Amino acid sequence: MKQIIYDIRQCTGCGACSQICPKGAVTMEADEEGFLFPKIDQQRCNDCGICRRTCPVNIAFENTRSIAVDEDGSAKFVTGEASVVPPLDGKRAFACYSEDDDTREKSSSGGIFTELARRTLEDGGVVFGAAFDGEFNVKHRYIESIGDLDDLRRSKYVQSETGEAFREAEKHLKNGRKVLFCGTPCQIAGLKAFLGKEYADLTACDLACFGVPSPKVWRMYLDYMKDRHDSAISSISFRDKSGGWRVPRMNIVFSNGSRYLVKLNNEIYAMGYFKNLFTRKSCFDCRFKLHNSHADLTLADFWGVEKLGRQAVGDDDRGISLVIIHSEAGENALAALSDRAETVEYALEDAIRYNPRLTSSLPEPAARARFFADMKKGFDFDRLRRKYMDNTSIKYRLKCIIKKMLGRA
């Protein structure tokens, strides 16, 4: 087989093709930008086509359900020359937060993933999610003990490697265990395509995704930070809430006792991420936004909840989760938290109003190509930072001043 995916630019790196191959002919290897893509060993490949049939992007195309986003942010499935508005009927939205103060405080948002995971583990199930390894690479793994739950909690703004996670989830499901699997929308689509059937014991949970950054750039950033602080790193939190949920901070603790605590909107890696300088190509035309989610429920921050005209549950700047229900399994999962989470239902159109990445992708910035061209030339992270991410530039400061004058800061 010469090519798995119809359009390689649409490859999300989910790993479904690699994990489904019965011959072990497909491996996931990083390209020059640091993103994983499938590579076929032609000596092992028997051209059975199962990898191509399992690719969730191919399935989206074959089902003629390609997503196009209008200038107003609305999404449509493109079907040949015609297009239809994708149905949102049946989806429900809730503002939620954990009643356990410690859980909420230590979570990026309202602690709902933690409560879903606890319930699954208490029922003898397993939980899959993204975790740091010993070198702060991000990889999917599963846990079977509440004592290990902290490894899967909190946002990680790096694309995770799924590794063998889909195979492991299938094994547990076939053994009759409950599985909670949390990942990006494309990873959940990959999981469902890999499984090829519905399992009553599976609860699939995706996230409001801004796009996945390059693991290679992340490694460069970590090396830069270790050199700058002359120390190894002990812990990382992308969304420290010591200054409140709405003003999160990057919090890196070093082995020598020093700490790096910076507001996320001023943090160098975060600024590059939010500018989409090192986001994966497929994310600029994501096929798995809310209108085409394969999950049972979607988790997000309930941004803008204070603007919706009535008092929100727990609106105290400690974090409120937005939970969007897509299926009966998702509804049952949230209902099972009635003894440990506060919930208030909102109209779906209100709930997603201030979270545009749920329904639309951002355009690819022109600076992205220049960023990676410079990286390939040998620019280190410090040089890339000064050229592309330094917020002290006159242009950036003028933009901030104008935003404040317009009341949008």
Kindly state whether residue 21 falls inside one of the protein's structural domains: yes
Domain boundary among 84, 108, 143: 84
Whole-angstrom Cα distance, residue 365 to residue 362? 9
Q: How would DSSP label each residue in 326-386?
A: -SHHHHHHHHTTTTTEEEEEE-HHHHTTT-GGGT-PPPPPHHHHHHHHHHHHT--HHHHII
- Residue 18 token pair: 């690699």
Of 38, 65, 84, which residue is a domain's last?
Answer: 84
Question: Domain check: are 295 and 191 in the same one?
Answer: yes
- DSSP assignment letter at 214: P
What sign results for the dihedral spanned by CA atoms 347, 354, 286, 13?
negative
Flag residues of the chain having pLDDT under 70: 1-2, 63-89, 309-315, 391-409
| Whether residue 96 sits in one domain with residue 80 | no
- pTM of this structure: 0.89
Does 62 lie in the same domain as 27?
yes
Q: Verify that 64 and 98 share a domain, yes or no.
A: no
Same domain, 18 and 130: no
What residue has token string 């196009």?
Answer: 68
Radius of gyration of the chain (CA): 21
Q: Do 67 and 29 lie in a common domain?
A: yes
Q: Is 307 within 8 Å of 318 (Cβ atoms)?
A: no
User: In terms of domains, do 220 and 289 share one?
Assistant: yes
Quick: pLDDT tens for 382-397.
Answer: 999 999 987 644 455 5
Cβ atoms of residues 369 and 375 within 8 Å: no
Count structural domains, the chain. 2
* Upper half-sphere CA count for residue 291 (Cβ side, 13 Å): 24
CATH code at 42? 3.30.70.20
Q: Is residue 244 part of a domain?
A: yes
Task: Say how far apart CA 202 and CA 338 lie, in whole Å.
Answer: 20
User: pLDDT per residue over 186-197, tens digit each?
Assistant: 999 999 999 999
Examine the domain organization and report whether 111 and 172 are in the same domain: yes
Name which of 40, 18, 363, 372 is nearest 216 in CA terms: 372
202 part of a folded domain: yes
Rounded to whole angstroms, the Cα distance separating 312 from 303 reads 11
How far does CA 278 lie from the centroid of its chain? 15
Whether the Cβ atoms of residue 280 and residue 8 lie closer than 8 Å to each other: no
Torsion (CA) 182, 186, 191, 192 in degrees, nearest 10: 110
CB 353 within 8 A of CB 360: no
End-of-domain residue from the set 46, 63, 84: 84
Q: Are residues 368 and 251 in the same domain?
A: yes
Residue 256 lies in a domain: yes
Q: In what order do the strands lie in the sheet with 66-69?
A: 66-69, 75-79, 82-84
Beta strand extents in 65-201 (DSSP E only): 66-69, 75-79, 82-84, 92-98, 126-132, 138-143, 179-183
The tokens for 28 are: 């996931």
Helix (H, G, I), strand (E, B) or coil at 28: strand
* Full domain range(s) for residue 79: 8-84
Per-residue pLDDT, 391: 61
Measured CA to CA, the distance from residue 263 to residue 227 in angstroms comes to 21
80 and 134 share one domain: no
Q: Is 139 in the same domain as 288?
A: yes
232 and 367 in a single domain? The answer is yes
2 located within any domain: no
Instruction: Determine, yes or no, domain membership for 3.
Output: no
For residue 311, the model assigns a pLDDT of 59
Give the Cβ contact number of residue 395 at 10 Å: 7
- Which residue from 206, 183, 209 is spatially nearest to 297, judged by alpha carbons? 206
Comparing CA positions, the residue from 340, 267, 402, 399 lying closest to residue 114 is 340
Query: pLDDT tens digit string along 78-134?
Result: 444 333 445 566 799 999 999 999 999 889 999 999 999 999 999 999 999 999 999
Give per-residue burial for 328-350: e unless 16+ CB within 10 Å, then b.
Answer: ebbeebbebbeebbbbbebebee
Q: Residue 29 domain-assigned?
A: yes
Q: Is residue 1 part of a domain?
A: no
- Single-letter residue type at 249: R
The CA distance from 356 to 94, in Å, is: 17
Q: What sign does the CA torsion over 243, 244, 250, 256 have?
A: positive
Contact between 12 and 183 under an 8 Å Cβ cutoff? The reply is no
Tokens representing residue 181 in the block? 């699997």
